[in-house]
């Protein structure tokens, strides 16, 4: 009997990294390695391999280039007590230009209202409400807004005053009632003033952010223009340019701007640079 040929023709056992279960795990947790093993060792159909590869590449790109916010600062006026159903302006400030989604505003009770003027919080019951923003794994500071039922408090206070009036007389009761009304009026005025200050602060913060973004865009555009001018100068090196009679720039054509073609002269770029002339930003 020929023992030498025993086992020939039988498939050799797969190594661990050639098995489908390990290939799938590596595709999830280490996509480049899993993709290589999938194409090298798996017996999947080519269409399935292409689909898995495309999905993996798209997910990697979305993770790499997804916007990230390093800090979110939530601003609201916490110094006053709000009445039930009052609309309280809240403003979320971020270090980046990332947009805060409506679903990112969180609170323990109450509700949010969104409009072109801003984000407003309100509650129909008295209590202390915690409000914050949470987006892309970043959580803002927590703002605590105190809401009171001013009508119920006023009624309770009036009952106390009536009971006190029975003991101390009607005259003193009227004075206390008048003082309570004045206090209520002063509180309402203070609340309106605080809301106006919060609105002005939010608008100023938004204007400052817009101004900063505009300045960054202008700086970027200027840098691109300078880079383009340098490329044009480099591309035209060794060629001919036009020099005006009185200007400090050289041009690619003799009728640029207010140039007089009759008094302009044709020179090389090297001659223009030797004369201290710079490239015209309109031509180059």
Question: 107 near 133, Cβ under 8 Å?
Answer: no
Looking at the chain, the whole-number percentage of residues with pLDDT higher than 90 is: 20
| Segment of 144-148, 175-179, 253-257 carrying the highest mean pLDDT | 144-148
Residue of 47, 115, 122 lying closest to 82 (CA atoms): 122
The string of pLDDT tens digits covering residues 47-75 is 988 998 999 899 888 777 765 546 888 88
Residue of 145, 152, 172 lying closest to 161 (CA atoms): 172
Q: How far apart are CA 245 and CA 54, in angstroms?
A: 61
**Dmax (CA) of the chain:** 128
The string of pLDDT tens digits covering residues 68-119 is 546 888 888 888 889 888 889 998 888 766 788 889 999 988 999 999 888 9
Provide the pLDDT confidence category of residue 142 given band limits of 50, 70 and 90.
very high
Say if residue 3's pLDDT is above 50. no
């Amino acid at each position: 009997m020929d023992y030498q040929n025993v086992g020939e023709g039988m498939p050799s056992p797969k190594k661990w990294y050639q098995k489908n279960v390990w290939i799938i795990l590596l595709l999830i947790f280490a996509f480049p390695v899993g993709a290589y093993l999938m194409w090298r060792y798996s017996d999947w159909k080519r269409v399935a391999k292409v689909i898995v590869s495309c999905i993996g590449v798209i997910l990697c790109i979305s993770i790499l280039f997804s916007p990230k916010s390093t800090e979110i600062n939530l601003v609201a006026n916490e110094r006053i007590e709000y009445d039930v159903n009052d609309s309280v302006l809240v403003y979320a400030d971020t270090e980046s230009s990332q947009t805060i989604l409506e679903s990112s505003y969180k609170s323990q009770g109450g509700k949010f209202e969104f409009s072109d003027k801003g984000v407003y919080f309100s509650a129909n019951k008295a209590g202390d409400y915690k409000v914050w923003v949470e987006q892309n794994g970043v959580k803002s500071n927590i703002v605590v807004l105190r809401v009171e039922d001013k009508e119920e408090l006023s009624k309770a206070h009036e009952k106390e005053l009536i009971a006190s009036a029975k003991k101390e007389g009607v005259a003193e009761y009227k004075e206390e009632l008048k003082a309570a009304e004045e206090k209520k009026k002063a509180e309402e005025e203070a609340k309106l003033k605080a809301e106006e200050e919060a609105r002005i602060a939010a608008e100023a913060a938004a204007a400052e952010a817009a101004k900063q973004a505009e300045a960054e865009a202008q700086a970027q555009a200027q840098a691109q223009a300078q880079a383009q001018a340098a490329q044009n100068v480099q591309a035209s090196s060794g060629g001919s340019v036009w020099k005006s009679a009185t200007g400090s720039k050289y041009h690619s054509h003799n009728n640029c701007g207010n140039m007089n073609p009759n008094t302009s002269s044709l020179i090389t770029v090297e001659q223009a640079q030797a004369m201290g002339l710079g490239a015209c930003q309109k031509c180059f």
